[in-house]
Amino acid sequence: MLLATIVLLGCGQRADTFCITGHIAGAADTMLYLEHLTLSEGAVPADSIRLGSDGAFCFRKKADAAPEFYRLRIGGQCINLSIDSTETVEVTANMPDMSFGYRVEGSGACDTIRLLCLKLADLEREARRISLDRNFTLQERDSMIEGLVEKYKTEVKLEYIRDHYAAPYSYYACFQTLGSQLVFDPMYNQSDLTWMQAVANAWNEKYPACQRTENLVGIVRKCRRNQAKPRQIVLDIDGDKVRELGIIDMTLPDINGQERTLSDLRGQVVLLDFTAFAMDGSTERTLLLRELYAKYHEKGFEIYQVSLDASEHLWKQRCEALPWVSVYMEDGLESDMLQLYDVQHLPCFFLIDRNCDLQARQENIADLEQAIEALL
């Protein structure tokens, strides 16, 4: 009790700080981490404490001018929080069900994020149940899960976002994910884009100089362009270069900012893949590509995957652990490269042989694995 009192007294509020305090029962002698959920680097360590027998903790940090997002983490158990200015948030939880059994006081926004997390967890459980039910075909399962997601989005829009567009939890809802893909899909779904734009407008009015506002406004602008009718372009292509390589070359940045050139993979069989991680079915498709990569990479197979996601942050999160070349095309669906390769839909892939000659595109490949083996 004395130690807990000292911790709480040490968390006395200063004018320029926020405070996250509370107790995690059943977590004695474990490390509790406070992580800042940044736009550019993901979860960044902000502070930590080894919990005592009473589980008391207190973190105090400099407050930002606009809402920011943090999480408390023990192992894989996380509690997501939004911090607005210099408030004090008190969290009470029990291990091992810390992520879903916690209580929060002092912040209505944090408590609403808790409800959103619980609601998303219910969606994930139901989607997982359907995906494992072999009484339905794959198409039927996809359709059922899609219906669940649409129902979830409608409820979140009407019950949480509507009339609260500038709230931290409305921003948080816009970036919730199911598996590896965004629940809200502003790149391809007009309704989702409309609601995200309403949130962006509210944040732009209330927090005009905020980095998150600039990022959100940028995503909305890019998605609006992507959903617009594709423009007609006239391109002057170096024909000699195309004939020499057999492909139209490209150089794009990977997650570390390193420029990666497609033609540098000459000597390997390459799957050139245009995709977007926010699309439906992205997780399952990534798993299939992993199987192909694991089976054929040592024999000379490589993947050059081009992301056209509206959110660069989402792309970085999704490709961080991928073993192949993953690059980002900032122009998205407006890129001239899509016109050059005549990409009519996503995902769309091409096979390139060891001489850097384009051999086939997705529509002409009946069996991808068999086609890869033939080129190897």
142 and 84 assigned to the same domain: no
Query: Would 146 be classed as within a structural domain?
Result: yes
85 and 59 assigned to the same domain: yes
Query: How many angstroms separate the Cα of 261 from the Cα of each of 240, 252, 253, 304?
Result: 18, 7, 9, 9
Q: Which of 94, 26, 91, 88 is nearest to 54 (CA)?
A: 26
User: Per DSSP, what are the bridge partners of residue 78?
Assistant: 73
255: its two tokens: 């997650």
336 and 249 assigned to the same domain: yes
Cβ atoms of 171 and 213 closer than 8 Å: no
Domain boundary among 227, 257, 275: 227
Q: Is the pLDDT of residue 318 over 90?
A: no
Query: Would 234 be classed as within a structural domain?
Result: no
Q: pLDDT tens digits, residue range 170-215?
A: 999 999 988 767 899 888 888 888 899 899 999 998 999 899 999 9
Query: Would 149 be classed as within a structural domain?
Result: yes
Separation of alpha carbons 312 and 62, rounded Å: 27
Query: Would 258 be classed as within a structural domain?
Result: yes
Cβ atoms of 65 and 56 closer than 8 Å: no
Separation of alpha carbons 131 and 95, rounded Å: 29
Q: pLDDT tens digits, residue range 156-174?
A: 999 999 889 999 999 999 9
Q: Is the pLDDT of residue 234 over 60?
A: no
Q: pLDDT tens digits, residue range 115-172?
A: 999 999 999 999 999 988 888 888 888 889 989 999 999 999 999 998 899 999 999 9
Residue 93: give its domain's CATH number. 2.60.40.10
Query: Would 111 be classed as within a structural domain?
Result: no
Separation of alpha carbons 279 and 283, rounded Å: 9
Q: Is the pLDDT of residue 6 over 80?
A: no
**Overall number of domains in the chain:** 3
Confidence of residue 321 (pLDDT cuts 50, 70, 90): confident
Domain boundary among 227, 257, 279: 227
174 and 247 assigned to the same domain: no
Confidence of residue 78 (pLDDT cuts 50, 70, 90): very high
200 and 245 assigned to the same domain: no
266 and 367 assigned to the same domain: yes
Rounded to the nearest 5 degrees, what angle is found at the Cα of 211, between the Cα atoms of 208 and 215?
95
Confidence of residue 296 (pLDDT cuts 50, 70, 90): very high
4: its two tokens: 């807990």
The mean pLDDT value for 348-371 works out to 89
Neighbours of 230 (CB within 10 A): 12
Calculate what percentage of the chain has a pLDDT beyond 70: 90
pLDDT of residue 236: 44
Look up the pTM and report it: 0.61
Confidence of residue 3 (pLDDT cuts 50, 70, 90): very low
81 and 196 assigned to the same domain: no
Cβ atoms of 305 and 275 closer than 8 Å: yes
pLDDT of residue 49: 95
Query: Would 121 be classed as within a structural domain?
Result: yes
pLDDT of residue 212: 93
- Helices within the chain (DSSP H only): 2-9, 108-131, 138-156, 168-174, 190-206, 211-227, 239-245, 282-296, 312-319, 336-340, 368-375
Domain boundary among 227, 255, 273: 227
Range of the domain at 165: 117-227
Cβ atoms of 72 and 78 closer than 8 Å: yes
194 and 221 assigned to the same domain: yes
236: its two tokens: 């002057």
243 and 352 assigned to the same domain: yes
Confidence of residue 246 (pLDDT cuts 50, 70, 90): low
Query: Would 33 be classed as within a structural domain?
Result: yes
212 and 282 assigned to the same domain: no
User: Per DSSP, what are the bridge partners of residue 34?
Assistant: 47, 72
Calculate what percentage of the chain has a pLDDT beyond 90: 52
Give the three-state DSSP class for 176.
coil
pLDDT of residue 7: 45
Q: pLDDT tens digits, residue range 8-38?
A: 444 554 558 999 999 999 999 999 999 999 9
170 and 95 assigned to the same domain: no
The mean pLDDT value for 100-118 works out to 94
Residue 249: give its domain's CATH number. 3.40.30.10
259 and 171 assigned to the same domain: no
Query: Would 221 be classed as within a structural domain?
Result: yes
pLDDT of residue 372: 93
Q: pLDDT tens digits, residue range 253-290?
A: 998 889 999 989 999 999 999 998 888 788 888 888 99
